[in-house]
Chains A and B, each alone.
Chain A
Amino acid sequence: MNKIVLEELKSNIKLTGNEYVIKNENNDVVFDIENSSSVIFNVFNEEDTKVYYTFNVLENSNLTINIFDAAREVKRNITINVNGENSSVILNLSCISLKENNYIVNVYHNSKNTHSKTNLHGLALDNNSIFIQNNGYIRNGSTKSTLNQDNKIIIMNDNNSKIEPNLYIDEYDTLASHGAYIGKFDEEELFYLNSRGLDNKSSYNLLINGFLLYEFVISDEDKVKLKNIIEKYWG
């Protein structure tokens, strides 16, 4: 299996390997993940961005996407077509909204024994907002498939953030679940950390870093890079 790490800085795509990419003037980017591939796609972004991704995943492949945004205006539309049998997709998308971030995610299970997990976590500072629409589809005939959504937005003040978690299941022999939460960090969690001698700043640092980065499958070096970005806006 090929293991390829792709990184996008701003809107420039750097690719290695045999992936096929089309990018047009509408910022549409298409990735075809070949049979028996293992692909990790990382985007760490601090620019205002509007981009539409489509990932087509063929048989026996694993795709892991780690996207981190810390920007004023972000619009991402991500479509993942799990077309081949025995394929898995993990999407970890975390953001710090500095004004208005919008995400629409569509995951289509189009084949048997396909698996997806989407962890969409946003932190809305001040009065900034986040909108997440997470749509999961399991087509008829996609037996033994699993779909799991975890959607959370932590707000530091009152704002108009919104989550729309949708499951469209057209097959009985499947497992699908979703969770959605918008709110502040739990007071009991904060008390627990305080009760060990951590002041509020250190406690929030731990909670925010954990909330935004825990699921990310990235190198320690990249984690440090992202922690530094978080510190810039929060710390």
Chain B
Amino acid sequence: MLRIKNLYVSIDGKEILKDFNININKGEVHALMGPNGTGKSTLSKVILNNKKYKKEKGNIYFEGEDITNLSTDKIAKKGIFLSNQLPCEIDGVTTADFLRTALNEKEENVSLYSFIKKINSAVSDLNMDEKMIHRSINKGFSGGEKKKNEILQMKVLEPKFIILDEIDSGLDVDSLKIVGENVTNYLKEHKDTSVLIITHYPRILEYIKPDFVHVMTGGQIKKTGNYDLALEIEKKGYDTYKNNSASIVSE
């Protein structure tokens, strides 16, 4: 479904991703783990073609199509969704208004009734205050509320490929459970949907079980394994991989 081949990315002349490769098939859940500053969040934004980052070399394919240089909105319309690590606040634009506009652009002429039904159901599933969707996007929201608002958007827009960038940061235990269960239920209802979970810790992986776990340091994947690899990292940390100059090692 998503394939990244020999990708090199830099920002302000500094190389962040170096010969990055990954292949995620339909219905698979992949976890990408690594220490701070290794390029995980950069990768998530580069997939959506954030212009802040310069792609020096390499390609990104989605469902066989080269989307490397497609505009962000067109990539999103193809069904790729990014749940941001630090969702931005937008003054004056309410979540409800913007989601309805987004849904109308994706599926033409969505009736107000269908939209309200869909968003209210998502609000209830996430145990959110319904007033929040009529406030400016993420303005004055706590860290946990912002993350729930991302998952709310995911549920309304129904993407085929989901990137969860540190969805677990800023969430308390109860909220983590709610978010984890909502993503898991979504995947049960959308069996072909694939997920890339970017995280430091295996905590979120207890709720969203990965098929593959990748360890990333220095801008590339250094090791690939299953859920046990996440538990190994929890015990031993990332030091073993930091000095490993080898490229992909699969188990």
Q: Which residues of A contact B (CB under 8 A)?
A: 186-189, 191-200, 202-203, 206-207, 209-215
Contact = CB atoms under 8 A, between A and B. Distances in A.
A198 B48 contact: no
Contact of B50 (A191, A193, A214): A191
Contact of B98 (A187, A188, A193, A211): A193
Interface in B32-86: 45, 48, 50-52, 71-73, 76-77, 81-82, 84
Contacts of A211: 91-92
A209 B94 CA distance: 11
Nearest to A190: B72
Q: Please report whether the interface of chain A is mostly helix, strand, loop or mixed according to DSSP.
A: helix
A188 B88 contact: yes
Specify which of A187, A189, A196, A203 lies most central, judged by the most chain B CB atoms within 10 Å of its CB: A196
B91 A200 contact: no
Nearest to A210: B92
A211 B90 CA distance: 9
A230 B76 CA distance: 27
A191 to B, nearest CB: 5
B98 A198 contact: yes
Contact of B105 (A188, A198, A213): A198
B11 interface: no
Contact of B90 (A189, A194, A215): A189
Nearest to B99: A196
Contacts of B137: 192
B97 interface: yes
9 contacts: A193-B98, A195-B72, A198-B102, A199-B73, A200-B73, A207-B90, A210-B94, A213-B92, A214-B93
A211 B92 CA distance: 6
A187 B53 CA distance: 13
Nearest to B94: A210
Contact of A192 (B77, B84, B94, B157): B84
A189 B88 contact: yes
B93 A206 contact: yes
Given A202-B105, A206-B93, A210-B136, A196 B88 contact: no
